Amino acid sequence: MARYTGPKNKLSRKIGEDLGLKTNALKVARRLTIKPGMHGAKSKRKLSDFGTQLKEKQKIKYIYGILEKQLRKLYTEASKNPTATGAALLSLLERRLDNAVYRLGWAGTRAQARQLVAHDHIMVNGKKMNVPSYTVKVNDVITLSTSGTKVPYASQAVKEGASNVSWLEQKGGAAKVTRFPERSDITEVVEEQLVVEYYSR
């Protein structure tokens, strides 16, 4: 189960945007304009078209916490979809179980949601599911396991009530996938067309 284990703020500084990788947005914002590395503060190079496409592709990888092989596999799947490839790719990323748990508000970051899933705190259709990359389907029921309800962040989120996610119908520590997520459901600022251009070179 490969994943990035380095400093999260470095990734946000690399892109120059808060990617939601840490819960303390103010702390992230302090150094967001300074690129990582010894000469980061002096770096003012203009990006080429390829550089812009690469940056957007890296940005999506960092946001969803996946590696190149996983993203390429999802792109191949999305390219077979009759709808726009970019929108189909984002829909597949949104349907990852760790992202669904994050959207439900049971975790502060996707990395935390991934840990909840990996530690057997999440159930899908009444069965424990510890694969963060599992793709949820319409009518799947996602619930917190008994141990999951004891996790402080998750239990507090359940007490505070349902999160505002239109494709997930939530009630307490359970939620049902009512439809596939659409482009308009995604709040992050991403230009998926640049990713499509990068992979279709």
From first to last of its 201 residues, what are the pLDDT tens digits of the chain? Answer: 466 777 766 776 777 676 777 666 555 666 666 677 665 556 567 889 999 999 999 999 999 999 999 999 999 999 999 989 999 999 999 999 999 999 999 999 999 999 999 999 999 999 999 999 999 999 999 999 999 999 999 999 999 887 889 999 999 899 999 999 999 999 888 999 999 999 998
| CA distances (Å), origin 142, targets 50, 51, 131 | 39, 39, 13
Q: Is 177 helix (H, G, I), strand (E, B) or coil?
A: strand
The answer to whether 117 and 129 are in contact (CB under 8 A) is: yes
The answer to whether 74 and 119 are in contact (CB under 8 A) is: no
Closest Cα partner for 31 from 58, 4, 64, 7?
7
Q: Domains of the chain, with CATH numbers?
A: 8-93+187-199 (1.10.1050.10), 96-179 (3.10.290.10)
Tokens (6 digits) for 180? 């596939």
pTM of the model: 0.85
Tokens (6 digits) for 193? 């067309």
- Where does residue 104 rank: exposed (0-12), middle (13-18), buried (19+ CB within 10 A)? buried
